[in-house]
């Protein structure tokens, strides 16, 4: 069998226009860009580029939406890097989705006031479902995103340090009547591993909830993963470590 790809095939791959929306991720600890492996804070890798520099590079190649996560906030249950959010919101026109430490009305307002367009709510949805339901009714599903981080079939909370008894399906089912529109699902076992995402999980969720946007997060290793998700009719994918490690280049994203 001939595994060679001729020049015409290569050109068609380069020129292929994706329908899926690529959302670059910036994870923050102490105001710096980092990536964790499987959500483990002891397996932290820090990168030299500043969050603002990265955000501006993404904007320059046509990215419209940015995934910004306050890992300090997720661990301490209160936002710790809002100054970074404010700087990026002030210096760019990116549509910013912010997560980490949003567990009170005050934290929610502070994040919106700092420039977030969307807020990702994870732990509160599990531990205080009535509060998230109220927020959904008050602010709308176009501004609040359910963050469901999954480990061995159950949703993890508090910076992935605790595992609940809830499945992602039960969580989604609970909040759909309140106007839920978007769900970021992260398979913790895949996160930061650069081994490909849980394709079957995302295909199942999108088929089960066709009215919702299921946002893929965790495990993206190369553009081929994104092409496969696009062919499966997933609508959004978050990409982090693969960009920092050079597995996916900004030029490749720009060409899409």
| pLDDT of residue 66 exceeding 90 | yes
User: One of 72, 110, 149, 187 is an active-site residue; which one?
Assistant: 149
Are the C-beta atoms of residues 11 and 52 closer than 8 Å to each other?
Answer: no
161-217: per-residue pLDDT in tens? 678 889 999 999 999 999 999 999 998 888 777 899 999 999 999 999 999 999 999
| pLDDT of residue 6 exceeding 80 | no
Across-strand partners of 151? 154
In the structure, what pLDDT confidence band is assigned to residue 117 with cuts at 50, 70 and 90? very high
| pLDDT of residue 5 exceeding 60 | no
Share of the chain above pLDDT 90, in %: 77
Question: Could you confirm whether 149 is annotated as catalytic?
Answer: yes
What is 18-255's CATH superfamily? Aldolase class I (3.20.20.70)
Q: In the chain, at which residue ranges do the beta strands (DSSP E only) sit? A: 21-29, 32-37, 40-46, 65-70, 95-99, 118-121, 144-151, 154-157, 162-163, 182-187, 213-217, 236-239
- In this structure, of 36-45, 76-85, 119-128, the range with the lowest mean pLDDT score is 36-45
Task: Please tell me which residue, 137 or 8, carries the higher pLDDT value.
Answer: 137
Sequence-ordered list of residues with C-beta below 8 angstroms from that of 190, at least 6 positions apart, any chain = 196, 197, 198, 218, 219
| pLDDT of residue 83 exceeding 90 | yes
Mean per-residue pLDDT, 19-42: 91
Q: How many CA atoms lie within 13 A of 131 on its CB side?
A: 15
Q: Across all residues in the chain, what is the average pLDDT? A: 91
Task: Please tell me which residue, 75 or 136, carries the higher pLDDT value.
Answer: 136
Burial of 241 (0-12, 13-18, 19+ CB in 10 A): buried
Predicted local confidence at residue 4, as pLDDT: 32
Task: Please tell me which residue, 4 or 160, carries the higher pLDDT value.
Answer: 160
What is the rounded CA–CA span in Å between residue 240 and residue 218? 8
DSSP state of 80: -
| pLDDT of residue 65 exceeding 60 | yes
| pLDDT of residue 14 exceeding 70 | no
Predicted local confidence at residue 37, as pLDDT: 78
Task: Please tell me which residue, 256 or 196, carries the higher pLDDT value.
Answer: 196
| pLDDT of residue 7 exceeding 80 | no
Mean per-residue pLDDT, 27-31: 96
Question: Could you confirm whether 27 is annotated as catalytic?
Answer: yes
Q: What is the DSSP string of 156-222?
A: EETTTTEE-S--HHHHHHHHGGGT--EEEEEETTTTTS-S---HHHHHHHHHH-TTSEEEEES---S
User: One of 27, 70, 110, 187 is an active-site residue; which one?
Assistant: 27
Task: Please tell me which residue, 39 or 132, carries the higher pLDDT value.
Answer: 132
This prediction's pTM: 0.90
| pLDDT of residue 8 exceeding 90 | no
- The pair of three-digit structure tokens given for residue 79, joined into one six-digit string: 């936002």
């Amino acid at each position: 069998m001939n595994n060679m790809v001729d020049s015409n095939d290569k050109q068609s791959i380069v020129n292929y226009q994706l329908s899926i929306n690529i959302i670059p991720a910036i994870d923050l600890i102490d105001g710096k860009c980092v990536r964790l492996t499987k959500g483990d804070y002891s397996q932290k890798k820090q990168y030299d580029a500043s969050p603002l520099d990265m955000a501006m590079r993404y904007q320059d190649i046509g990215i419209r939406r940015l995934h910004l996560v306050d890992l300090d906030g997720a661990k301490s249950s209160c936002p710790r890097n809002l100054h970074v959010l404010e700087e990026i919101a002030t210096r760019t026109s990116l549509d910013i989705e912010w997560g980490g430490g949003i567990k009170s009305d005050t934290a929610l307002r502070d994040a919106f006031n700092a420039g977030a367009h969307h807020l990702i709510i994870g732990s509160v949805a599990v531990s205080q479902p009535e509060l998230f339901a109220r927020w959904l009714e008050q602010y709308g599903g176009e501004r609040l995103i359910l963050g469901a981080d999954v480990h061995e079939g159950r949703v993890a909370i508090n910076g992935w340090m605790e595992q609940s008894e809830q499945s992602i399906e039960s969580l989604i089912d609970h909040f759909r009547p309140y106007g839920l529109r978007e769900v970021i699902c992260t398979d913790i076992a895949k996160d930061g591993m650069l081994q490909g995402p849980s394709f079957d999980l995302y295909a199942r969720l999108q088929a089960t909830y066709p009215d919702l946007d299921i946002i893929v997060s965790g495990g993206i290793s190369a553009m081929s993963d994104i092409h496969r998700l696009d062919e499966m009719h997933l609508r959004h994918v978050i990409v982090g470590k693969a960009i920092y490690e050079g597995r996916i280049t900004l030029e490749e994203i720009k060409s899409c």
